[in-house]
């Protein structure tokens, strides 16, 4: 599984930056709407719209701050260098993990994850759009289930209320 981890980290950072830009733009638009969407008499009669736009702007500002914090955490993690995993190494932060999953029909499917400090649930694509992997964090349910496991280990993961058995195929 010779995948370039920095390719995926960079892709995640770009997604977070885009989310931050959208949140900042939405905050500015909501603040402007709160100030200018009504005439003075309308503002006196019904200030609810201004309050709602103000609340929306506050929420978007919080979203932008969260994105900035995530970018900082991601940069801090990558500045220490991405860890290399040897055969039979336990799953940890920075690992790319392949698991096999048996579906309801008994078919085996494989999924690939990358364990990062932020970005849980984000789906990333491989170079040239080849293949997909999902970001998991140590705090996410899937991350908690896989941390410390090694190739060949089985874990039980609850998906949509249903327990599933996954087998760790490879850790890189």
Dump the DSSP string for 91-131.
Answer: P-TT-EEEEEEE-TTS-EEEEEEEE-SS-TT-EEE-GGG--
Given a cut of 60, whether residue 38 has pLDDT beyond it is no
Given a cut of 60, whether residue 44 has pLDDT beyond it is no
* Same domain, residue pair 55 and 100: no
* Same domain, residue pair 103 and 167: yes
* Same domain, residue pair 116 and 156: yes
Q: What is the mean pLDDT of residues 33-38?
A: 68
| Separation of first and last alpha carbons in the chain | 7
Provide the domain count of the chain. 2
28-to-31, 66, 154, 159 alpha-carbon distances in Å = 5, 17, 48, 38
Examine residue 87 and state whether it is found in any structural domain, yes or no: no
Identify the domain containing residue 71 by its residue range. Answer: 5-79
Q: Looking at 48, 79, 110, which one is the last position of a domain? A: 79
Which comes out higher in pLDDT, residue 49 or 10? 10
Examine residue 117 and state whether it is found in any structural domain, yes or no: yes
Cβ atoms of 126 and 86 within 8 Å: the answer is: no
Q: What pLDDT, on the 0 to 100 scale, is given for residue 117?
A: 97
Q: Looking at 46, 79, 112, which one is the last position of a domain? A: 79
54/26 Cα distance (integer angstroms): 11
Residue 125's φ and ψ, nearest 5 degrees, are -110, 150
Model-wide pTM > 0.85: no
* Same domain, residue pair 20 and 49: yes
């Amino acid at each position: 599984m010779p995948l370039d981890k920095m390719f995926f980290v960079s892709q995640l950072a770009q997604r977070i930056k885009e989310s931050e830009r959208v949140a900042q733009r939405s905050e500015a638009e909501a603040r402007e709407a709160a100030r200018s969407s009504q005439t003075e008499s309308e503002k006196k009669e019904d200030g609810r719209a201004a309050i709602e736009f103000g609340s929306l702007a506050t929420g978007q500002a919080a979203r932008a701050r969260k994105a900035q914090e995530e970018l900082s955490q991601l940069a801090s993690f990558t500045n220490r260098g991405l860890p290399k995993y040897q055969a039979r190494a336990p799953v940890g932060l920075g690992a790319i993990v392949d698991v096999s999953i048996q579906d309801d029909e008994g078919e085996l499917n494989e999924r690939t994850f990358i364990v990062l400090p932020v970005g849980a649930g984000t789906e990333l694509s491989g170079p040239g759009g080849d293949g997909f992997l999902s970001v998991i964090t140590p705090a996410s349910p899937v991350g908690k289930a896989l941390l410390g496991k090694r190739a060949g280990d089985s874990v039980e993961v609850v998906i949509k209320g249903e327990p599933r058995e996954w087998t760790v195929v490879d850790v890189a």
